[in-house]
Amino acid sequence: MPTDPANTDVRMRGFARRTTVEDALAWVDNQTRCLPSEFVSLWQAAGRVLAAEVVSATNVPGFDRSMMDGYALHAADTQGATAYQRMELKIVGQSLPGQPFAGSVAPGQAVRIMTGAPLPAGADAVLPAERTEAIEETLFALDEVSPGKNIGRAGEDIACGASVLPTGRVLRPQDVGVLSSLGLAKVQVVRRPRVRIVVTGNELQSAGTPAEGCRIADSNGPMLAALVERDGGVAILGGVDNRQQGDYLVPDNPAAILAAMHDPADIVLVSGGSSVGQEDHAPLLVARHGELAIHGIAMRPSSPTGMGRIGAALVFLLPGNPVSCLCAYDFFAGRAIRRLAGRPPAWPYRPIRLPLARKLVSQVGRVDYARVRIARGHVEPVAISGASILSSTTVADGFVVVSADCEGFPAGAEVEVWRYDD
């Protein structure tokens, strides 16, 4: 690593050129394919992404059943029945859910039946209980019923061979119910990407530690862990395959950062040291030991963002400033994680179009990520918008993206806000 001051000064002068956001996104899309599948328990399947179409190997239900509480009988035996001309039948047994009637129903006979119970052999209709009167084993039909009435047929929910759910489906609670009704114990879903979070910065203390002197508590580790989990990844900090407290920070030296980047993962997020200054080790390490495809992006904040590959993993170099870190994650790393996870690549934020309360100024040539509030149906840019002011993103209700060819919007212009609280 360069330690000569003159050499360092050259490196402090900034980026030679900046990649456009568009080109960086194209690189991300080009480098990311949906991961292979794994089987998970039905009980863990909600919210996971289906890796293959589910085709039913069975009829659901597997038998004809009653849709009402009443009596299974021959429809013909009720012909002409009314409250004034009751038809008399003999009750020969009952069919309960899970406890079918063992015999067959002959003409003139009826079997008491509950909703969901199997239709006994011989019967071709169910007369609802409220249209009957029963005295001991004698049934009086007070109404007619036509053949097939109040019967749910085998396979009427799902027929054997039917396509039930498509590949790529993010499983909803009722999807899990349907998969269960097929008798499946396990579901084939896309493997969750393992995302290693490498937080560097000698000024940092691990999250959960009060600031002390000139050291500050890390905010990017827990923020990134939460973002990764939101986007379907598994966050790995400090070499442990779980979010954890404790000391997960990586010392700000090239050997430690390189070792952390080489630990197994699908994606590595390096927070801090992503720029071109004296202590910015990560870009040189990626360039030397992998491929630094992009470094420096025409956007604000997050312009000192890099991306490339190291070993088998994609690596994203995120600025240490928390707002830049969030923005770079949202634009690039989150999209990569969602694509590996088989999820929709678009932002998980809800867009809403509203007029601006004040003008929103931007600079042509770079994309702006402007934090805004929504008040009284209008959009107000958040005034304190330095890249280090993370509270600007908690005060904000969302953000507006101002494209590189746009110098901003006048008051009253309608803009698209991406709401943080989706």
Residues 99-118 that bind a copy of itself (CB under 8 A): 99-100, 112, 114-118
How many of the other CB atoms lie within 10 Å of CB of 377?
8
Which residues, including other chains, have CB under 8 Å from residue 361's CB and lie 6 or more apart?
A: 407, 408
The distance of closest approach from Cβ of residue 311 to a copy of itself in the complex, given in angstroms and rounded to an integer, is 27
* Tokens standing for residue 341: 């996870």
Q: Quick one: 212 or 405, whose CB is closer to a copy of itself?
A: 212
89 sits near a copy of itself (criterion: CB under 8 A):
no
Q: Using CB under 8 A, which of 97, 107, 147, 239 touches a copy of itself?
A: 97
Cα separation, 141 vs 131, in Å, equals 7
- Peptide linkage before 345 cis (omega within 30 of 0): no
Copy the structure tokens of residue 156.
């009427």
Instruction: Determine the Cα–Cα distance for residues 208 and 346; give it in Å rounded to an integer.
Output: 32
**Site for a copy of itself contains 253 (CB under 8 A):** no
Tell which positions 281-300 bind a copy of itself, by CB under 8 A.
none
**In angstroms, what is the minimal distance from the CB of 84 to a copy of itself?**
19
The reply on whether position 210 binds a copy of itself by CB under 8 A is: yes
- Judged by CB under 8 A, the number of residues near a copy of itself is 110
Which residue, chain included where needed, has tokens 């990626």?
286
Pattern 254-273, a copy of itself, x by CB under 8 A:
--------------------
- The answer to whether residues 394 and 421 touch, using CB atoms and an 8 Å cutoff, is no
Indicate the angle between helix axes 254-262 and 282-289, nearest 10 degrees: 60
Kindly identify the residues of this chain, within the stretch 367-396, that bind a copy of itself according to CB under 8 A.
384, 386, 388-391, 393-394
Say how far apart CA 276 and CA 326 lie, in whole Å. 20
- Can you tell me the distance from the alpha carbon of 116 to that of 353, in angstroms, rounded to the nearest whole number? 48
Q: In angstroms, give the least distance from the CB of 312 to a copy of itself.
A: 26
Q: Which of 181, 115, 206 is nearest to 152 (CA)?
A: 115
Asked if 9 is part of the footprint of a copy of itself (rule: CB under 8 A), the reply reads yes
* Identity of the residue, 37 or 58, whose beta carbon is nearer to a copy of itself in the bound complex: 58
The distance between the two most distant Cα atoms of the chain, rounded to a whole number of Å, is 109
For residue 96, state whether it binds a copy of itself (rule: CB under 8 A): yes
Considering only CA atoms, which of 347, 369, 384 is closest in space to residue 415? 369
What is the rounded CA–CA span in Å between residue 206 and residue 249?
6
Instruction: Tell me whether residue 119 or residue 258 sits nearer to a copy of itself (CB atom).
Output: 119
What 3-state DSSP class applies to 16?
A: coil
129 binds a copy of itself (CB under 8 A): yes
The answer to whether residue 354 forms part of the interface with a copy of itself (CB under 8 A) is: no
Choose which of 73, 89, 126, 207 interacts with a copy of itself (CB under 8 A).
Answer: 207
- Verify binding: residue 188, a copy of itself, rule CB under 8 A: no
| Site mask for a copy of itself (CB under 8 A), range 313-352, x = bound | -------xxx---x-----------------------x--
Residues 148-177 that bind a copy of itself (CB under 8 A): 152, 156-158, 164-165, 170, 172-177
Is residue 7 a contact residue for a copy of itself (CB under 8 A)?
no
Among 244, 366, 380, 382, binds a copy of itself (CB under 8 A): 244
Site for a copy of itself in 44-63 (CB under 8 A): 44-47, 58, 60-63
Q: What share of the chain is helix, strand, coil (3-state, %, to 5)?
A: 20, 35, 45
Q: How far is the CB of 204 from a copy of itself (least distance, A)?
A: 7
Choose, by CB under 8 A, the member of 134, 256, 284, 406 that binds a copy of itself. 134
CB neighbour list of residue 126: distance below 8 Å, 6 or more residues apart? 66, 67, 68, 70, 71, 72, 73, 113, 119, 145, 149, 150, 151
